[in-house]
Structure 1
Amino acid sequence: MTRPEQTPETISEIIEMALSDHVSFAQIRAQHGLGPDEVKTLMRKTLKPGSYRAWRKRVRDFGTRREVYK
């Protein structure tokens, strides 16, 4: 799937969505066309290493309960 060039504003919006506990990877894919692996790669490139690790831990912890929060 080809995507339009991501602007800094688009990248910022994707990061904000990914950091939110109320937005799923499916919603990010629907709006921006990025799958979970692509979002993780973007987050790894953009966030500081400690922030990325904390985000991944939170995503994993919420992963099993995500349906409850959506």
Structure 2
Amino acid sequence: MKHTFNDEETSRIIEMAWEDRTPFEAIATQFGMIESDVIRFMRYHLKSGSFKLWRKRVSGRITKHAMRRPEGIERGYCSTQYKHRGK
């Protein structure tokens, strides 16, 4: 991973990585980062304790991998998870 991300992209990657229903494949599609890249990225950008909480949360979570998701879960976000992005 050699790409440098601006603050907005960095924030979006972190947000997507924390979201339960956003698979790593969605991050790869949008930002060209495979799962191991995301792990390194999160390790670098989060405080140690936050990184450990995130790893514990996503480890083994089937919704973080598109191929392992239960049938019927096709979107990358929860329908009730609307985030207002006022500018």
- TM-score using structure 2 length: 0.68
Higher relative contact order (CA 8 A, sep 6+): 2
CA shift, 1:40, in A, is 0.6
- TM-score using structure 1 length: 0.82
| Consecutive unaligned residues in structure 2, runs of 5 or more | 64-68, 74-87
Distance 1:61 1:53 in 2: 14
Is 2:25 aligned against 1:29?
A: no
Distance 1:50 1:35 in 2: 23
Query: What count of residue pairs does the alignment treat as equivalent?
Result: 67
Q: Which has the higher helix share?
A: 1
CA shift, 1:42, in A, is 0.8
Structure 1 stretches of 4+ with a deviation exceeding 6 A read: none
CA shift, 1:2, in A, is 6.5
Distance 2:5 2:11 in 1: 10
Identity of aligned residues (%): 37
CA shift, 1:46, in A, is 0.9
Equivalent residue runs for 1:42-53 within 5 Å = 42-53=41-52
| Consecutive unaligned residues in structure 1, runs of 5 or more | none
